Amino acid sequence: MAKKSQMFVLRNLMVAAGDKGVSKAQAAKALNVDESCVGVYFFYLKRDFKAQYDLIKKGRQIVAYKLKNPDDVVVDEYHRKNSNKSTPKKVATKATKTPVVKKQASVSDEDDSDSDVNVSHQFSEREFNDIKTSLGIL
């Protein structure tokens, strides 16, 4: 059987705790994570599932989390990551004319003035596409 989602476990834990709230230690044990990571799960519960909760503090330290709207928070038992977000669609690129690349280079030595070299190369479309593919441009 598939593992239940951590958001589902966290929501049920908060509903069962009621007014006294869920401590970080309880949530860490139920989610099987380190206690320092628990705040992230509460943040995702708030962001993805519109949960509203109160922080019960002792000084500056957060002691527990208390869920305000347990009836409005709906979490699937086997929730897939990013399942409630729309998938991005691929953008069609506009076909452009292939540019003609000309390369000219002249090399001259001071010792020998007769050794001027002019190189002119025009890439074929196949060569140009191979270069684009190797560079990851398409």
CA distances to 127, 128, 132 from 135, rounded to whole Å, are 12, 11, 5
Both tokens of 69, joined, read 């709207």
CATH 1.10.10.10 is the classification of domain 6-67? yes
User: Which pTM value belongs to this model?
Assistant: 0.51
CB burial class (10 A; 0-12, 13-18, 19+) of residue 14? buried
Residue appearing with tokens 């001259």: 108
Provide CATH 1.10.10.10 ranges for the chain: 6-67
Higher pLDDT, 108 or 99: 99
pLDDT tens digit sequence for 113-138: 555 556 566 778 888 888 888 888 86
| For the ranges 1-5, 48-52, 89-93, the one whose mean pLDDT is highest | 48-52
pLDDT tens digit sequence for 30-74: 888 898 888 888 888 888 878 888 888 999 988 888 888 877 777
Q: Where are the alpha helices (DSSP H) in the chain?
A: 6-17, 24-31, 38-49, 125-135
